[in-house]
Amino acid sequence: MFYRLAMTTSDDVRAIALSLPETTEKIAWSMPTFRVAGKMFATLPEDETSMAVRCPKEERAELVLAEPEKFWVAGHEASSAWVRVRLAALDDLDELRDILLDSWRQAAPASLLE
């Protein structure tokens, strides 16, 4: 019997992002954005088949080179510390959670990280 694995969706992104401490969702630039203490850590751009998350620029190039089917940099984000993630390319919800948590930690105030 053949079983198809469920793809990661924007609903998964929303559920995990909103489960992180003090996270809020706000529409900006006509798309859902997720924030902690007012600082954005994730967005669901365009058709919500990908997400953008914070990623230190020095790590981003290596990430994109290692897994170009999963990660890329949008042209208008080239000078900022963000990377795009194709939701369908993620292995599972644990990987999604790890990516969102890492981005959340980069935006969260020190008092929440303790």
In a domain, 55, yes or no: yes
- pLDDT tens for each residue of 26-47: 999 999 999 999 999 999 998 9
**pLDDT for the residue 49:** 94
55: containing domain: 10-108
Domain count across the chain: 1
pTM above 0.75, yes or no: yes
In a domain, 4, yes or no: no
pLDDT at 4 over 80: no
In a domain, 3, yes or no: no
- pLDDT tens for each residue of 96-110: 999 999 999 999 999
Question: Quick check: 13 and 81 in contact, CB under 8 A?
Answer: no
pLDDT at 68 over 80: yes
**pLDDT for the residue 55:** 96
CA distance readout (Å), 60 to 52, 66, 74: 12, 10, 12
CATH classification at residue 63: 3.90.1150.30
In a domain, 5, yes or no: no
In a domain, 36, yes or no: yes
Query: Higher-confidence residue: 42 or 5?
Result: 42
Mean pLDDT of 81-91: 95
In a domain, 113, yes or no: no
